[in-house]
Structure 1
Amino acid sequence: RIADHSTGDVAVDFYHRYKDDVKLMKNIGLNAFRMSISWSRILPRGNLSGGVNKEGIAFYNNVINELLANGITPFVTIFHWDLPQGLEDEYLGFLSPRIIDDYKDFAELCFKEFGDRVKHWATLNEPYIFASGGYDGGLTGNAAPGRCSNRAICAEGDSATEPYIVGHNLLLAHATAVKLYRENISRLDVRAAQRALDFMYGWFIHPIVYGDYPRTMRSIVGDRLPKFTKEQAELVKGSFDYVGLNYYTGNFARHVVSSGGNVSSATDIKASLSTEANGVSIGTPTAVSYFDDYPKGLHDLLVYTKERYNNPTIYITETGMTDGNNITKYAIDDDGRISFYNGHIRAVHRAIEQGVDVKGFFAWSLLDNFEWGSGYTQRFGIIYIDYENDLKRIPKESADWFKNSLNAK
C-alpha cells in the first residue's frame, strides 16, 4: 500500500541514467556508494531453475565498473525487500524455509558475478522492518507482502507468529550466505594466492629446481608459454648453487574472475594483490602504500621454499623499508626501519630453527640511492645521502642499530 498509489516501475530511472548519476557522485567528491541487487532482475523467477537474466547481470557489472572507474567503492546490499513474486506465489517467500536455499543461490550468483570487484556486502536491509512491517502491520502497516491479523488492512496473515517465522528464516538465510562466502570465496582466494606464488616466484625457481614451469602456469598460459626441449630442461634443472631471495612485503590475494578482455601475464594470474583487505592491513603500514612491514611473510616464504623446492641454500639478497624523501633531521631518526629489520631478522632465525638453510642476510640498502621508477623520492638506506649538500653521508639510527647488533654477536 503506497501512500500516493504510485509504483516503482520507473522510479528515478537509474537503470538508464546511472552514468550521469556516477558523474554527480564524483563531482560531489563521494568515494563510496551503497546500492542493492534486485533479486528478480538477475533471477526473474527467483530461483536458478527459472533461469538467469544475463542482461541484468550485465547492468550491474556496468554500474560497478563505472563506479570503480570513477574512484567510488560499491557497497552492495543483497536483499533490500524486493522478493521475487514467483517465490511469494510458490511458497509464501520468507514464511517458508525453502527461501533459505533460494536466497543462498541468489547470493552465490552475486558473489560469483560481482565478487571480484565488490568487497563490501550486506546480506539484508532492515530485517526488523521487513518482518514487522510486512507481517504485522508494522509501524505504518504498508510493507509488502501486507500480511497481518488485522482484517481491516490485511486479507491474510497471523501477527502473532508470522513475523517471528520470517525473522527466523531471514537469520538463517543471512548466516547461510555468510558461511558460503567465507568458505567458497576463501577457497578461491587460497588458490589465487598459490597462483600468484607460481607466477611471481615459481616462474623462475621451479625450472631451476625441477626443469619445467609450474603446472599452474602450463595449464593457464598454454601454448603462449614456451616449452623446454629435453636438452634445455636438463640444462636449466639444477643450475644454481644458492637461491637469492628478495623480499619486501606480503599481500592478500583475491580471486579475480577473468574479464575476457586483453590477455597478459598480469591477467593470467587471475588474482588481485593488496596489502589491505576489508579495511585491515596485512602488516604495519609504511610511507609507501604497497609496502607493509610484514616479517611473517618472509618467514612463511622461506618455509614454503624449503618444503616445495627441496630446501635449497638461501641468501636473503634484499629486504628493506623505504620512507619518504624527508629532510635530514627526520630521516635519520628511523625507528620504523629498526623495527622492520629487527622483525625480519627474527623471522629468518625462526625459519632457520625450522630447518631452512639460510646462509646470509643483506639489507637494502646501505645508502639512500636512485631507485628504478621512484628516482630520489624514496629512501631505503641506513645511511642518509644529503643530495643538496655534496652527497654528504650521515648514518641513520638504523646504522647504529646494525653496528650494535653485529658487535653483540
Structure 2
Amino acid sequence: MAKEEEFLRENEGNGAVKGHQVSRSDFPPDFVFGVATSAYQIEGACNEGGRGPSIWDAFSHTEGKILDKSNGDVAVDHYHRYMEDIDLIAKLGFGAYRFSISWSRIFPDGLGTKVNDEGITFYNNIINALLEKGIKPFVTLYHWDLPLHLDESMGGWLNKKIVEYFALYADTCFANFGDRVKNWITINEPLQTSVNGYITGIFAPGRSENSLVEPYLASHHQILAHAAAVSVYRSKYKDIQGGQVGLVVDCEWSEANSDKIEDKSAAARRLDFQIGWYLDPLYYGEYPKAMRERLGDQLPKFSEEDKKLLLNPMDFIGLNHYTTRFISHVTDSNEENSYYGAQQMERIVEWEGGKVIGEKAASEWLYVVPWGLRKVLNYVSKKYATPIYITENGMDDEDDDKLPLHEMLDDKLRVRYFKEYIASVAGAIKDGVDVRGYFAWSLVDNFEWAQGYTKRFGLVYVDYKNGLTRHPKSSAYWFSRFLKADNGKKGKED
C-alpha cells in the first residue's frame, strides 16, 4: 500500500470526502460560523474620515512592491458600502463577522493624543448595523496596518515604546465599542508581520537588511503589546463588559515526512517556530527551547516584570489555517537568514510516490489538505488547553478577466475546500477539541497584500472593472444552504 493510501486510511474523517457529508448538525448549536475581512484590504477611503496613513499606504505606493502595481486607496470601497456588505452577511446566514479596526482611523498619528471622532463613528455604525441583523462582531485591533507616523518617528514594532501606544489604542477601543463588542482579538498573525515585514521584506514596512535582529524584536514587542492590552481589558473592562480577548496565530500544519526521529523532531521544531514563538511566552513565560537553543541571544529576553504581564491567560486562541506541508530534517540549510536556517528543515509538497499533497489553489503556497486542520487543532488544544476559534480558513482563485463571469462565480474547488475543511473541524470536535467557531476567509475578494488584486479569496466576487459590484459565488450559496439546513436533514445542503 502506498504511503498516501495508508496515511489517509489511518486519518479517515480528517476531511476526506467519504460517506457522511458534513452538516450544521455536526456542530454544537452555539458554534459560531462567520466570515472575516481586514481594514486595509477592503475599506479604501484612505484620505477620508480623518484617517491617517498606515505603513501599507506607504508600502503599496512604493515601486515594485505590489505585483499588479495596485494599492488599497479604494480597495472594494467597504467604507461607503458597509451596509451592502453587512446585508450580504445576513442574507447568507452567517452569525458572526470578524473585521479589523484601522488604528490610524482612531489615532491618525498612532500616538493616542487625539481621538478621531469620525473613525469612532464609522466603526460604531458597523457594529450597530451588525447587531441589528443579529450578527456578532469579532473585532481585531491590529491587522498589519500600523500608523505610518509610529514607524517613521520611532521604528514601529522595533521600539518597546510601541507597547504603551498599543495599550492606549486598545483602551480607547474597549471604552468606545466594548459595551457591544464582546469578542476581541488583539493582533493578527504576528508571525507574518515579523517574517514578511522584517526578514523577506515582502510586506510593510518592507525591511530585510537586519534580519538577525529585527524580526525577533518585532515579535517580542507584539507579544508584550498583546499582553498589555489583555491587562487593560481585565483590569478596567471585563467585569463591566463581560467580553473575551484572544490572539490570532497562523500555522501551516507540519507533518513529519517519515517515521524517522529526525523528521519528527524537525516537524515539531517547525511548529515551535510558527506558533510556539508567540504562544509559549504567553503560557509558559519563555520562548520555545528549540528557538532559544538555535537562535541564542538573537531572541530578546523577558524581564521579570514582563513575565508578570505575560502570564495572564487568553480567553481563546484564534487560529488562521490554510494548508499543510510534509517536513523533513536537513543538516545544512541553504537559507541565508537565521529564522529559516535555524529550523533545519525542508518543506515538501509531495507524497512519497511523487503525487502532490493536495490540489493547488492560485497562491503558490496554498494546497488543499483538509486533514491538516484536524491535526493542528488537536496539537494546539493539547499544548495550550484553551478554547479555539478558527479565525481564517479559505483558498484563492487567480483573477482572470478573460473568463466569463459565470465561470468565475462557479468556484467548485472552493466549495470542495470548505466542505472538507469544515468536516475536519467536526472531526476535531469529536476528538474532544474545544473549537467554538469558524470564520471563512474572506467575505469579499479584496486587496491581497503583495499580490494586489491578482488573487481572489472571496465568497463574494467583486467586479473591479464595473463599479465594484458584488456577486455571490457558488461557495457563498453552498454556505448559505449549509447554515440554513434543518438540523435533522444531514447532507441536504449539498
> Cα offset for 1:277?
4.8
Please give the alpha-carbon distance, in whole angstroms, between the structure 2 residues aligned to 1:264 and 1:223.
12
* Residue matched to 2:378: 303
SS at match of 1:363: strand
Instruction: Give runs of aligned pairs for residues 247-286 of structure 1, distance below 5 A.
Output: 247-259=321-333, 262-278=336-352, 279-286=354-361
1:384 matched to 2:461 = yes
Equivalents in 2 of 1:247, 1:262: separation in Å? 27
AA aligned opposite 1:361: Y
The AA in structure 2 aligned to 1:402 is F
**Residues 401 and 183 of structure 1: CA distance in aligned 2, closer, same or farther (over 3 Å):** closer
Residues 326-383 of structure 1 show CA distances to partners (whole Å, capped at 9, x for unaligned) of 3322210011111101111111111111111111100000100010111111111010
Aligned to 2:426, which of 343, 349, 357? Answer: 349
Note the C-alpha offset of 1:288. 3.1
SS of the aligned residue for 1:390 comes to coil
Unaligned runs of 5+ in 2: 1-256, 488-494
Relative contact order: is structure 1 or structure 2 higher (C-alpha 8 Å, sep ≥ 6)?
2
Who is 1:204 aligned against? 278
Alignment deviations for residues 299-346 of structure 1 (CA, whole Å, 9 cap, x no partner): 00000111111x211110001011111332221001111110111111
8 Å CA contact retained: 2:412, 2:474: yes
- Counterparts of 1:373 and 1:348 in 2: how far apart (Å)? 30
The answer to whether the 8 A contact 1:195-1:216 is kept is yes
Q: 1:261 to 1:381 in 2, by over 3 A?
A: closer
Q: How many angstroms apart in 2 are the aligned matches of 1:260 and 1:347?
A: 35
Mean alpha-carbon deviation: is it higher for 235-244 or for 347-356? 235-244
Specify the code of the residue in structure 1 equivalent to 2:355: V
Question: Does the 8 Å contact 2:374/2:428 carry over to 1?
Answer: yes
Residues 1-55 of structure 1 deviation map (CA, whole Å, 9 limit, x = unaligned) = xxxxxxxxxxxxxxxxxxxxxxxxxxxxxxxxxxxxxxxxxxxxxxxxxxxxxxx
Q: 1:83-131 CA deviation, whole Å, 9 max, x = no partner? A: xxxxxxxxxxxxxxxxxxxxxxxxxxxxxxxxxxxxxxxxxxxxxxxxx
| Maintained 8 Å contact 1:317/1:363 | yes
Change (3 A) 1:266 1:382: same
Indicate whether 1:318 and 2:395 are aligned. Answer: no
Conserved? CA contact 1:275–1:291, under 8 Å: no
Q: 435, 450, 455: which one pairs with 1:358?
A: 435
The answer to whether the Cα contact below 8 Å between 2:273 and 2:291 also exists between their aligned partners in 1 is yes
1:213-224 maps to which residues of 2 (within 5 A)?
213-224=287-298
**Secondary structure of 2:421's aligned partner:** helix
Q: CA 1:274/1:377 → structure 2, altered by over 3 Å: closer, same or farther? A: farther
Query: 5+ unaligned residues in a row in structure 1: which ranges?
Result: 1-181
Partners of 2:330 and 2:344 within 8 A in 1: yes
Question: Would you say how many aligned residue pairs link Structure 1 and Structure 2?
Answer: 226
**1:87-236 counterparts in 2 under 5 A?**
186-236=260-310
* Partner deviation per Cα, 1:362-408 (whole Å, 9 max, x = no partner): 00001000101111111110100111111111110111111111101
Structure 2 partner of 1:74: none
Please state how far the C-alpha of 1:252 moved relative to its aligned partner. 1.1
Give the deviation of 1:231 after TM superposition.
Answer: 2.2
Pair 1:200–1:372, CA change in 2 (3 A): same
Q: Contact 1:275–1:290 at 8 Å: present in 2 too?
A: no
1:294 matches 2:369: yes
Any idea what SS the aligned residue of 1:234 has? helix
Say which SS state the counterpart of residue 440 (structure 2) adopts: coil
Q: What TM-score results when the alignment is normalised by the length of structure 1? A: 0.53
Larger Rg over CA atoms: 1
With normalisation by structure 2, the TM-score equals: 0.44
One-letter code aligned to 1:314: I
1:329 and 1:381 map into 2 onto residues whose CA distance is 15
State the distance in 1 between where 2:349 and 2:282 align. 29
Give the AA of the match of 1:198. D
Q: 1:280 & 1:203 partners in 2: Cα distance?
A: 32
Residues 398 and 456 in structure 2, CA contact (< 8 A), matched pair in contact too: yes
**CA–CA separation in structure 1 for the residues paired with 2:470 and 2:299:** 47
Give, in whole Å, the separation in 1 of the partners of 2:443 and 2:476.
Answer: 8
| Alignment correspondent of 2:409 | 332
1:395 partner amino acid: P
Residues 258, 264 of structure 2: 8 Å contact kept: no
Q: Which whole-Å CA distance do the structure 2 matches of 1:322 and 1:261 have between them?
A: 28
Q: Which amino acid aligns with 2:308?
A: E
Aligned to 1:78: none
Question: Residue type of the partner of 2:368?
Answer: D
- 2:319 paired residue among 232, 245, 259: 245
Deviation at 1:211, TM superposition (A): 1.3
Judging changes above 3 Å, is the alpha-carbon distance between structure 1 residues 271 and 383 closer, same or farther for their aligned structure 2 residues?
same
Post-superposition shift, 1:190?
1.6
Question: Greater shift after overlay, 276-285 or 236-245?
Answer: 276-285
**Conserved 8 A contact 1:274-1:290:** no
Distance 2:475 2:296 in 1: 47
Give the Cα separation in 1 of the matches to 2:479 and 2:362: 22
CA-based RMSD: 1.9
Residue 452 of structure 2 corresponds to 375
- State how far apart, in whole Å, the 1-side matches of 2:478 and 2:279 are: 33
Confirm or deny: 8 A CA contact 2:328 2:346 kept in the other structure.
yes
Identity of aligned pairs, percent?
A: 42
Residues 253 and 271, structure 1, Cα contact 8 Å, conserved in 2: yes
Aligned to 1:402: 479
In 2, Cα distance between equivalents of 1:286 and 1:321: 6
Do the aligned partners of residues 194 and 183 (structure 1) sit closer, same or farther apart at CA in structure 2, a change above 3 Å counting?
A: closer
